[in-house]
Amino acid sequence: MAKYFDVHPQNPQQRILDNVVDLIRSGSLVAYPTDSCFALGCQLGNREGLARIRSIRHLDDRHHFTLVCQNFAQLGQFVHVDNNVFRAIKAATPGSYTFILPATNEVPRQLLHPKKKTVGVRIPDHVVTQALLAELGEPLLSSTLLLPEEDEPMTQGWEIKERLDHVVDAVLDSGDCGTEPTTVIDFSGGEAEIVRRGAGDPSRFE
C-alpha cells in the first residue's frame, strides 16, 4: 500500500520532504507533481525502480527516460551541452521542457537510448519538485505518469493513490499541477528538433 503525503504547494513541510527522500534513497518508487503533470520517480541507480516504471507504463528499451534536475549545474553533470545549445536551454529553464542530449558517463547505461546514447533532462518550475530535488541532492530518474492505453496523464493525487496503490510506494500530492506533458526537444543532432509539443511553448525552438 502506497504512503500518501499531502504537502503544502508553496511551503512544503520539511518532515514530509525528509520522509519522501528517505523512501527514495531506500529504493522506493514515488509519484510526484511537476509543472507538467505527475511523474513517476526513483533514485538514479535504482534498477528495480526503473523496471517498475517500464512495467507500469509498458515501455520498451527505446523510451527516453528523464533526469529531473534541480538546476543547470546538476544537469551539466549528466549531458554534453555545447555553447549554442547551452544558451537555448538556459533561456527556457526552469520550465515545462525535456531536452534530449548525449549522455555523459555519469548516466547508467540502462537509461540510455540503445542506439543514440542519449537521455532526457529537465529542470521543472515547481516549488514542491524543486524542494524535493534540493533535499535529495541529485536528479530523480523519472517518466511522465501516463498509463498504457490512456491519452491523458494522471493529475489528481487521490486518484493516483487509488489506482496505483500496489505498484508505487508513495504519492506526493500538492494539489493542482500541470495537466500536459512537457514539450520535448531533441538536441542530440546539434539542431533543435521538436519531438513532442506539450506544456512548454515550442515556438522558441522553431
Query: What pLDDT was estimated at residue 126?
Result: 96
Contact predicate 32/168, CB 8 Å? no
Specify the pTM. 0.95
Query: What pLDDT was estimated at residue 34?
Result: 95
Residue 124 CA to residue 180 CA, distance in Å, equals 13
Averaged over successive runs of 10 residues, the pLDDT of the chain (206 residues) comes to 97 98 98 95 96 94 91 94 92 96 93 88 97 98 92 88 97 90 94 94 93
CA neighbor of 100 nearest in space, from 60, 62, 45: 62
Domain with residues 3-205, CATH architecture: Alpha-Beta Complex (3.90)
DSSP character string of 140-167: EEEEE---TT-SS----HHHHHHHSTTT
Strand pairing category for 140-144 and 66-68: antiparallel
